[in-house]
Structure 1
Amino acid sequence: MDAAGDEAQLENSIASSIPTDLSISEISDLKVQPSLSTKKSSILKTKKQQQKEKDKISKQLLEKKQLEHDLQLVRIELNQKDYLLENLKTEYKMKIEDLEEKLTQYKQQKKFLIAKTESQLALQQDESKRKQERLQADLSVIKVKLRELESQNDKLTSKSLDVKQQLKEHVDVSEEVYYELRGSADEMLSVKDLVAMRIFEALRPYKIELDEVKARCERLSTNLTESEDRANLLKQVFPTLQQNSVTQIKLTRLITETQELEAKASSKDYRINNYDRVNKERDDLEKQVTELKDRNTVLERDFTATARDKKHYEQEFSSTKSALTLINQDKDYLTRQVCELTNKLAYSEERLQRLTAEVDEVKRAREELFEKYVSSRDQYKTQYEQQLQAELKMMSASTQEEVEKLRSTTKAMYEMEARSLRESRDMAIAERDKALAQEADLQTKYHKLNDEYRQDKVNSDTQLSELRSQVKMAEYEKSRVQLLQEETSKSVKEFQVENEKLLKKLEVANKEYYSMEMRFSRKCSDSESKISEYQTRLQAYENIEKELDEVIMQAAEVDTDDGAEKVMLSYGYGASIPSSSQRRMKQSVHLARRCLALERQMVGDKRQIKELESAVFNLKEELAGANEKLDTAEQPYSYILNKTKELEDSNRQLKKANHCMEKELKIAKEKCVEKSAEIQNLLRDMERSSSHLDEINMMKDQLRRVLSKRTLAKKERLMGEMSDKERIQRSRGLLAAEGDSEKALLQAEQYLRPVNLPFNPATQVLSGERSLQDAISYLDTVILAQSPPSRLPSTATGRSLGKSLSHPIRSISEDLSGDQHQPAPISMNRKTVQKGRRPALKKH
């Protein structure tokens, strides 16, 4: 940048110096002109030499000044760089001090962290010991529960397989059986009957579609036979058409012969001799021609009619063919759907079996993992302590290495800065030399550019003349192109007409394609929705089974009946489960309690058996000691015999007691086996009851949803079909019959919304602006205005109408809610209604 600025200054100075010299020379010439006549040529020469010397001196001075200016610039730059170096030194010193302070802080933090980690390690060791003890206790409990769950799971799988087999055997139901099942209550029906009803409802529309498709196929087959008959008729007519063509050929020959005869008759002799004969032949031929023409017209009409019929039959045949293909496609699609559904059912059953097998494997793996976890925890503990010590050593080593790196980097920075300053000084000197060389180059370039400018002027003149000739040629070509454009525009219009025709054909094809796509997308969406519904049902079944198992086990662990009932109530016992399911739940809880009591008895019997075995062992040891003493004792023979007899008697008694104890032990073991069998039977009964409960509850929930959807749809349909008069009458009946309930007011408000009234009386009663009696009287006046007096509804009829409207809605809501907790009904005080105030809402 500095070199470029110096070059610009030099050029400006040169430009300013040259015109000044020229002006001085011109002035000297003006002064010398009047005295040219008097002075000699020698004076002129001397003046020219002086002017040349002045020019040389001025150039040298300019160069010197320029060099001095460059030196001053270089000195200023050097001073600036010195200041920058000093600033950098101070900054680096400050940074080093900050780093040393941070180092001291990090060392303190390191000591603090070491102490903290040691204390935390001690605490963690204590906590880990406690957790290990807890885990061991939990593991023992979990193992027991897992074994129980495995036994329950096996029983449940066997039950599910039984239910599946039963469902597979008894799925198909006739219409009579379906209507009988539909007439009976849902609670009275079994799971098989409910599933059969649902399958019949699902398959019914498909069966109806199949019947329609069969009827359509029969129609199309009849149409096909008709079209074939018509084709046969056309084949029969075809030879007559061929005969017609032969007669036409004969006609043409006769016409040519008549023409030839006419040419011959032109001669006079022939006319005179054969006039009568020719006249006869002509008349005969004319008659034949007229007959042939008539026959030809008749045949042409027949031909056109047959051609039209043929086209019509061909179109009908193509349409029937396309319809047949579509029907075949629909049939294939339906068969594929049925196959897919059967495959999916089989796949889901296989998947259920796989999942049960996977659950067993997971349970086994879980036990193995628990054992591995206990063994690996100690290893990880030791590894963790070793890693901590190694990391602490690494931290100390890394801090020392970082301090040494910082020292080395600061030294390197100082050396780099010194080198860069030296290099910048050398670069400045080199740039000055370059600027001087560039000045000389610029002068040479200036002379060259002048020469080039002159040559360019000459070249530009020649190019101008060439361009003018090219412009003339371009104008000639333009006129030629215009003619071509007119021709192309005509062809473009023709192509546009053809393009429009093709576009119309394309639109028709697109419409057909989009309609086919819509059908395909609808079928895809239907199948996807069905799949999603089946998946949600499966998930719901699995979740309900898990929740019921957990609830029953928690209730069974509680000793008292009150505690068990509380557990059951907390999980929805008595809310959405019907009476039969409550009984089953109670039975399962009682069965679980009996199981636990029998297990406790078994544990007590086992303890007693162990105590008896230890007592027998002690008696045997005493007997052996007594025998040894007898052998060692030195007493009289009779005394010894008496003692031996006593010992033998006692030994016999002990043997008898031992034999009795062994018998009792066998009996106790048999009792234990019987009790374990009883426990297993009870668990099976519990699983059966729980599986039946899950299936029944799921079916009831689905039925309630369907009922709620149907009732809402019916209600909306009725609301849409009602007239204004019926809406007013029904709202009036609701207010008169059940005006003291907020539900009736809201229903009346819904009925009156679409009616064109100046205000809604039900909303005013709800807001408190109007009393209930005023609203009823207002509705009576509206009914009077719309209907004749003989057909006015009385209060009794209004009440009955309101009840008939409200009671079905109540029954529907009760059916939907089932055994759930119903909200407290809201009632109104009659006194407030009679006074004309807003009714006070009360909760019973």
Structure 2
Amino acid sequence: MSRKISKESKKVNISSSLESEDISLETTVPTDDISSSEEREGKVKITRQLIERKELLHNIQLLKIELSQKNMMIDNLKVEYLTKIEELEEKLNDALHQKQLLSLRLDNQLTFQQKDASKYQELMKQEMETILLRQKQLEETNLQLREKAGDVRRNLRDFELTEEQYTKLKAFPEDQLSIPEYVSVRFYELVNPLKKEICELQVKRNILAEELSANKDQLKQLTETYEEDRKNYSEVQIRCQRLALELADTKQLIQQGDYRQENYDKVKSERDAFEQEVIELRRKHEILEASHIIQTRERSELSKEVATLQQTVTLLQKDKEYLNRQNMELSVRCAHEEDRLERLQTQLEETKKAREEMYEKYVTSRDHYKTEYENKLHDELEQIRLKTNQEIDQLRNASREMYERENRNLREARDNAVAEKERAMMAEKDALEKHDQLLDRYRELQLSTESKVTEFLHQIKLKSFESERVQLLQEETARNLTQCQLECEKYQKKLEVLTKEFYSLQASSEKRITELQAQNSEHQARLDIYEKLEKELDEIIMQTKPDIISKSIL
């Protein structure tokens, strides 16, 4: 284009030079003619025609000068327009070059974006594959846990065995038995002797209660007999005191008479014998009271031990009820946990469906935005091409204003393209943010499922620990039962020994009471004799008193 413009400028310069030469020739020719005519004619008179001719020639010269000036002006305008055209062509070439650069950049960016999108899609596919594998693993573990929970629940429900089932299962070796059968056999072996021991202890408790009631009746009878003996003993003591007073009175009376001197030794020996007997009776009474206190203490201890045994039996019954309640609660908890697992499984399925729907929506929206973006780019490129062609035609045919308008349109189109590109980038960023949010939600759900699985495992461990604790409690109760049985046997032996001692003491006390009664009868006979002697002495004294009075008077 620059070469063409230079050639045209050269042609214009050549034509302008030729025209100037023609004008100069035309102007010089009449001057030569005039000079020659003047030289030829000499001093010819100037006529009117010559003046007009000169005027015409002068006017022609003026017109030629004006034409030359106008041609010069035209040449200058042509040069200016040619320079302007060259500048506009250079600007157009620059714009085309920039357009090519922008198109190349757009192509490069599109290729980079396509590569990034393909890489991102591959990464997303890999992540989705890993997520699906993890989900499958979680589903498998969930199914295993559900199967284990169902097995545990069934084993807890069908845990008890009958004697026939126990004999059938016991006939098989332990290697051929399944885990629930082996556990049920072991549970039957541990629980059945405990049940038998509990029944035996209940029977023994009933027997001991009957023996206690019988012992209580015997103790009541013994206390009644003891109180009667005490009353009799108090009466005997009162009578002995009376006799002692009477003896003292008789001694005083005997001292006054001669009988005191004669029977002093006998009365003294009898008094000493009576005092010794009273001392022995007091000693025996103290011994009986001490034995009675010991028996009452032992009876209170036996009652306390029986109360403790009753408390242990009640505690064992309460432990049995508590274990039954715990078993029921564990079964209820297992049912609740199964319902909870089913709910979690339904929630997982719903989340899977929601994830698939969101992924499909994301893919469709991405394809939709991609197609819209490509269509817009294609339309805009076609519009830009049309506009550029129109602008080139207008630049070739029009002036500076049209060129400026076209430049403005190009700038606006470029700004629109950049704005649309930014909008597409923002839409892609929004889609990526939504995808990241969905991934975060999925990870949160995954973490929540893992935490719930860990909670279930922890609860299973707690249940196993509680079952072990229950087994330890059963062992402790069995030990306590054995200790209680040994203590009951010891106390039974003590009761037998005490009953034998009590019967021996009762026989000895009866013998002693009979002896005391015989001695009391003897003492009463002696007292009767002493009373008769006192009466006789009184009669003798009364008979001898008047003689003594008369003698004293004389």
TM-score interval (norm. to shorter)? 0.3 to 0.5
Give the structure-2-normalised TM-score.
0.36
Larger radius of gyration, structure 1 or 2? 2
Higher helix share: 2
Return the structure number with greater relative CO, CA threshold 8 A, min gap 6: 2
